[in-house]
Structure 1
Amino acid sequence: MVTLLVVAGLLVAAFVGFTIGGSSTGVAFGPAVGSKLVRKATAAGLFSVFVFLGAWTVGRNVIVTMSEGIVPAAQFTPVAGVGVLFFTGASLLVSNIYGVPASTSMTAVGAIVGLGLATGSLNEALMFTIVSAWIVAPLIGLAIGAVIGRYVYPQLEARLSFTRLERQLIQVDRSGRVPRVRFNRNAAPRDLIGSVLVLGIACYMGFSAGASNAANAVAPLVGNRAVTIDQGVLLAVAAISLGGFTIARRTLETVGDGITDLPILAALIVSTVGATIITILSYFGIPASLAVSTTCCIIGLGWGRASRVVTLAELATPPSKTEPGPKLTTDALAAPSTGDDRPAGPTVGDLASGAVPETADQHDDPPSVPPIGEEDIEELTAESLFDPAATSRIVVLWILTPSLSVVGSYLLFALVL
């Protein structure tokens, strides 16, 4: 019976890792594949390498926290391990049904908390630290996004070039006797800089995904000693990599609903900020959600971008009834910053769909950026980036899914097992 439960636990863990790989690969490498920097197979290979690096180094701390910190390792019996993994996998199913990227980390922790409450073994001090991090980390992402959007984003937008090349950036020249590797001759210096940023940040996202997500797949198995930490990391990475090479191919084509409508520059910024926050938390052994942090960074970035229409003094001045002042929204990321009638750069979805042809003027001198207080609010809200109803549904499910995991896990271990 125990052997069957261990096998069941291994299969469920592999399924969780497989699903994580399918979704995370597209989010991390969607811009790189869409820009024709790398092929899908190369993206999956790079993602696997950096997931392994993140899981083998920083990710160990998260595995320790989830396997023996929140509740004692002795609580992870074979039955309990399968139960916790079941609720983690079920959360992924619910999020897929509703089209919302639920936090696997938060839901996995919720299942462990339910076990701890049912057995009276919950480490309340550690859970207070984890929940505090879940509140503070998104606020930090929001603040960083607002500062970058107000002071840095327009400058970067005017100077960086993100285009969709007709052929891959790195090519193999087989015209001679010995094949040679060279860069695409049609790529300008600005293209090379942008390409290095896209590819580097994609690899960084892979590292962060490995650091935070390996524990979600194998922590219960490490807790009940079915596998060691080293074996757990290898199992998680293998399952995540399999998902990256298989079901992620479709995700790479659609580039992920969460970033498709973002300008490529905004996607890179929020990816870097979100990955950095999660990597730091993983170093301290705190499981946290990359999706929540990046979404808050998107909101901050859009608000900061729109706030450039007024000075700090005007922001601090209460609006009067006769002059209510400009309405600052998060719609500004998709809008032009230079007075043109179209966004200054392509979106992630444009790159993936091939809707961004190379143009003759894409390498001209960068346009000037209007100073703060002199931009037109009508231009900054040219396109809508967020659907309030969809955003509300996402936030509700982010809170509801871990809560259901806690309740379901508690009832399972308190009344059934």
Structure 2
Amino acid sequence: MVSLLVVAGLIVAAFVGFNIGGSSTGVAFGPAVGSRLVRKTTAATLFTAFAFLGAWTVGRNVIVTMSEGIVPAAQFTPVAGVGVLFFTGLSLLVSNIYGVPASTSMTAVGAIVGLGLATGSLNEALMFTIVSAWIVAPLVGLGIGAVIGRYVYPQLEARLAFTRLERQLVQIDRSGSLPRPRLNENASSRDLAGSVLVLGIACYMGFSAGASNAANAVAPLVGNGAVSIDQGVLLAVAAIGLGGFTIARRTLATVGDGITDLPILAALIVSTVGATIITILSYLGIPASLAVSTTCCIIGLGWGRASRAVTLAELATPPSGDAPGPSLTADALAAPSTEEGEPAAQTVGDIAAGESPDTEVRQDDSPSVPPIGEEDVEQLTAESLFDPAATTRIVALWIITPSLSVAGSYLLFALLL
């Protein structure tokens, strides 16, 4: 009976890792594949390699926390391990049904918390630290995004352009006796610099995903001794890689619903900020959500961009009946950025669809950014990037899904097991 439960646990763990790889590969390498820097197979290979590096290094700390820190390792019986993994897999199903990137980490922790509450073995001090990090990390992402959006993003937008190459950046030259790699001869030095940036950040996202998500798939199995930490990392990354080579091909084609409307520059910024936050938390052994941190950074980036329409003094002035003050939203990232009404920077969705704007004129012009307080707030919020109803649904599910995981796990272990 025990051996059958261990096998069931391994299967469920592989299913969780498979789905993590399918969703995370598209988000990390969508811009790189869409702009034809790498092929889908190369993207899956790089993602798997860097996810392994992240899981094998800082990801171990998260595995330790989830396998023996939140509740004692002895609580992870074979039955308990399968139960926890079941609720983690269920969260992925719910998020796919509603089209919302629910936090696998938060839901997995919720299932473990339910086990701890049912058995009276929950480490409350550690959970206080973890929940505090869940609150602080998105606020940090929001704040960093706002500062970058107000002071840095317009300068970068005026100087950087990302184009979609007609053929891959690195090609195989078969003219000689032995095939050898060579760079795309049509790629300019600007293309090369932008390509290195896009590809480097994609690999960094893969590292962060491996560091934070490997524990979600195997922590209960490590806790009950079914596998060691090393074996757990290998199992998780193998399943994540399988997802990257199979079901991720669709997410790579659509480039992830969460970032398709973002300008490519904004997507790179929020990816870097989100991955850095999660990597630091993983090093500290704290499981946290990459989706939550990056989404908050997107909102902060858009708000900071819109806030350039007013000075700090105007922002600090309380509105009155005679001067209601400007209406600032996070829609600025989709708005025109020049007085001539040129379209916003190329989006991730554009490069995935094969649409390439004419960037020659903008590259020849000397970059000019209006000073803070002199930009038109109506232009900055000309187009809607965020749907308030959809945002409310996403945030609600981020709260509801882990809560349901805690409740369901508690009822399972308190009443049935």
Residue 284 of structure 1 deviates from its aligned partner by 0.5
Q: Map residues 3-402 of structure 1 onto 2, 5 A cutoff.
A: 3-356=3-356, 359-361=359-361, 363-402=363-402
Cα distance in 2 for partners of 1:180, 1:358 equals 32
Which of 157-166 and 146-155 deviates more?
157-166
- Match of 1:361, SS state, is helix
1:404 corresponds in structure 2 to 404
Cα distance in 2 for partners of 1:273, 1:203 equals 14
Encode CA deviations 1:335-368: one digit per residue, 9 max, x unaligned: 1222232334210000101012555435324420
TM-score (norm 2): 0.98
Task: Kindly indicate whether residue 378 of structure 2 is the aligned counterpart of residue 414 of structure 1.
Answer: no
Encode CA deviations 1:157-181: one digit per residue, 9 max, x unaligned: 1111111111111122333444443
CA contact (8 A) 1:338 1:367 kept: no
Residue 189 of structure 1 deviates from its aligned partner by 1.9
Residue 320 of structure 1 deviates from its aligned partner by 2.2
Tell me the amino acid that sits aligned with residue 103 of structure 1. Answer: S
TM-score (norm 1): 0.98
Aligned residues between the structures: 417
CA contact (8 A) 1:163 1:358 kept: no
CA contact (8 A) 1:188 1:363 kept: no
RMSD of aligned Cα (Å): 1.1
Cα distance in 2 for partners of 1:308, 1:360 equals 27
Cα distance in 1 for partners of 2:92, 2:343 equals 34
Cα separation, partners in 2 of 1:257 and 1:366, compared to 1, 3 Å: farther
Residue 263 of structure 1 deviates from its aligned partner by 0.5
Cα distance in 2 for partners of 1:34, 1:309 equals 33
Residue 325 of structure 1 deviates from its aligned partner by 1.8
Tell me the amino acid that sits aligned with residue 370 of structure 2. Answer: P
Encode CA deviations 1:74-109: one digit per residue, 9 max, x unaligned: 000000000000000000000100000000000000
Which runs of 5 or more residues in structure 2 are unaligned?
none
Cα distance in 1 for partners of 2:170, 2:317 equals 53
CA contact (8 A) 1:21 1:239 kept: yes
CA contact (8 A) 2:333 2:344 kept: no
Cα distance in 1 for partners of 2:350, 2:253 equals 11
Encode CA deviations 1:242-287: one digit per residue, 9 max, x unaligned: 0000000000000010001000000000000000000000000000
CA contact (8 A) 2:161 2:359 kept: no
CA contact (8 A) 2:63 2:214 kept: yes
- Match of 2:181, SS state, is strand
